[in-house]
């Protein structure tokens, strides 16, 4: 959340210049994600389950990197794969 305004401003500035968006490469976007999420950590479920054992046979988890998590969240809001 501490970078929310910075991220929003960056995206809004990019949206003002369609040519700049068209020039973005996958590496450019990955670099932006690296910068934006540098301080963000996703607690991985293994530590949680060590600290909170369960016998729930229906329980499953999905482990993702920061970038995978961000992209899957964006896909929920209709970002094309």
In this structure, the answer to whether residues 4 and 24 fall within a common structural domain is yes
In this structure, the answer to whether residues 22 and 56 fall within a common structural domain is no
Which H/E stretch holds residue 41? none
Low-confidence ranges of the chain (pLDDT < 70): 1, 61-62
Residue 22 is predicted with a pLDDT of: 87
CA atoms within 13 A on the CB side of 72: 8
Residue 43 is predicted with a pLDDT of: 72
In this structure, the answer to whether residues 33 and 58 fall within a common structural domain is no
User: In which domain, by residue range, is 67 found?
Assistant: 43-81
Q: How far is CA 51 from CA 15, 41, 45, 46, 54, in A?
A: 44, 18, 10, 9, 10
In this structure, the answer to whether residues 57 and 25 fall within a common structural domain is no
**CA 22/CA 29 separation, integer angstroms:** 12
Residue 1 is predicted with a pLDDT of: 63
Q: How many domains does the chain fold into?
A: 2
In this structure, the answer to whether residues 65 and 36 fall within a common structural domain is no
């Amino acid at each position: 959340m501490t970078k929310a305004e910075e991220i929003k401003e960056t995206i809004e500035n990019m949206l003002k210049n369609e040519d700049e968006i068209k020039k973005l490469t996958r590496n450019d976007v990955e670099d932006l994600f690296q910068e934006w999420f540098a301080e963000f950590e996703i607690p991985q479920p293994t530590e949680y389950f060590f600290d909170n054992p369960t016998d729930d046979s229906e329980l499953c988890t999905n482990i993702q990197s920061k970038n995978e998590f961000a992209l899957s969240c964006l896909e929920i809001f209709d970002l094309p794969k």
